[in-house]
Amino acid sequence: MARRGVLAAGCHDPPNCGNRCRFFCVLTVLYPFLFKSLSRLPLPVLHALGWLLGWLGFLLSSRYRRKLYVHAEQAGFGRTVARASVAEAGKMVTEMPRLWLGDPVHLEWDGRELIEQAIAEGNGVLFLTPHLGCFEVTAQLVAQEFGDRMPVTVLYRPARQPWLRDIMERARNRPGLATAPTTLAGVKQLIKALKLRQGVGLLPDQVPPEGQGVWAPFFGRDAYTMTLSARLALTGGARVLLIWGERLSWGRGYCVHLRPFRPSTAGQLSADPVAAAGEINEAMESLVRECPAQYLWSYDRYKAPAGLSHSARLEAERAQGA
């Protein structure tokens, strides 16, 4: 009976379930247990495990190594920075259970007065962060400190695995913090939040689907860049702040850094989508330069967007030198 229950949790047809399917059914049950177990470990231990995981992935995958080196060198940082980012990428994975389900970790501020000023002036705030450091803690700390005065809504892409999707939704929906999916309804939710003078957070270096972005330079190479961040920045006089979560050494916690956004076009973001995307990319570059070893260089920032036809995809990849 126990076995049938396990299979039923991950399979729609247990009697006809093959061996491979049974294996993944069992994993579906084990993963949440493992996730909750890891959430109880101290952060230094989780970061040590992340160091091992990161280097294991680096050593076992030549494709991963090549992508890491190509992207870091494209940005002018070289292989030393690329190798330093290997452990940080692993830590990003192993710290998630603690951040979502475990006890609070040490968090400190750099620039919180920028949020205080925006609230005092009655502005909504658009928080922009790249795939740098621990972006999970940025929304958590803002919600923790300012959620009673300025609730925050973050854009997220739901996980494909049902067990992980459930954990993500429970963990990210906390007092002062709400989530919006990457759908039209989610975009409307973000616009509404800004009009209510609340906070909104997203990663503008996330590659959007075809038709929802423009080609704009990112570290000297054109990358398909979302137009949503610029649209939101021009909504209702929102204040735009750059934010990123630095992962402190030896598992000591995190420091959330805030920076003002200073567009190069006459002090305000350009109304032209391509120019605006380029300005936001420049802002993301400035954050990455603060700590390039914690940028996720393995992220396929220069890929052709989903939804592009095969011929158009090949043409775009040739144009980008992929």
- The residue ranges of every structural domain in the chain are 2-6+19-96, 105-319
CB 14 within 8 A of CB 4: yes
CB distance 157 to 226 below 8 Å: no
Reading phi first (left if > 0) and then psi (alpha if -120 to 50, else beta), residue 207 is in: beta
Q: What are phi and psi of 174, to 5 degrees?
A: -130, 170
* pTM, 2 dp: 0.86
Q: Under a CB-based contact definition with an 8 Å cutoff, are residues 183 and 208 in contact? A: no
Q: Give the DSSP letter of residue 305.
A: P
Query: Are 179 and 169 in contact, with CB atoms under 8 Å apart?
Result: yes
- What is the residue-level pLDDT of the chain in tens, covering all 322 positions? 344 333 333 454 444 455 445 544 554 567 778 888 999 999 999 999 999 999 999 999 999 999 999 999 999 999 999 999 999 999 999 999 999 999 999 999 999 999 999 999 999 999 999 999 999 999 999 999 999 999 999 998 877 777 777 777 777 778 899 999 888 899 999 999 999 999 999 999 999 988 899 999 999 999 999 999 999 988 767 899 999 999 999 999 999 999 999 876 656 788 888 999 999 999 999 999 999 999 999 999 999 887 665 455 555 555 555 4
> Residue 167 and residue 158: Cα distance in Å, rounded?
11
* CB-CB neighbours of 315 under 10 Å: 13
CA 226 – CA 301 distance, rounded (Å): 12
Identity of the amino acid at 198: Q
